[in-house]
Amino acid sequence: MSGYDIFAWIVLVILLASAIGVVCIAGWLPGHIAKSRNHPHAQAVTVAGWITLFFGFALWPIALIWAYLDVPARKAGDA
């Protein structure tokens, strides 16, 4: 094995670890934002953030927007 082969393997391992890290952070981010903003549906946003990873991030922006949306509180007289 030459020096270039070892360097190539090191770069490949670093790239794979970075990709796994980015995917994990992307799945964690909407739930973390919702919890820090005291969102009333924080648990559902967390689940949505992780589930979107299995669908190729197609619905991930919706989970992120949902984490930032403020849901108005229901008034006592409303049905």
Is residue 3 assigned to a domain? no
Cα distance between residue 42 and residue 39, in whole Å: 5
State the pLDDT at residue 70: 77
Cα distance between residue 33 and residue 49, in whole Å: 11
Is residue 39 assigned to a domain? yes
Cα distance between residue 79 and residue 77, in whole Å: 7
Burial class (CB in 10 A: 0-12, 13-18, 19+), 30: buried
Is residue 48 assigned to a domain? yes
Nearest to 34 by CA among 76, 57, 62: 62
Is residue 54 assigned to a domain? yes
Look up the pTM and report it: 0.77
Residue range(s) defining the domain that contains residue 62 = 18-66
State the pLDDT at residue 66: 93
**Domain total of the chain:** 1
Under 8 Å between Cβ of 42 and 60: no
Would you write out the chain's pLDDT as a tens digit for each of its 79 residues? 788 899 999 999 999 999 999 999 999 999 999 999 999 999 999 999 999 988 888 889 999 999 999 777 667 666 5
State the pLDDT at residue 79: 57
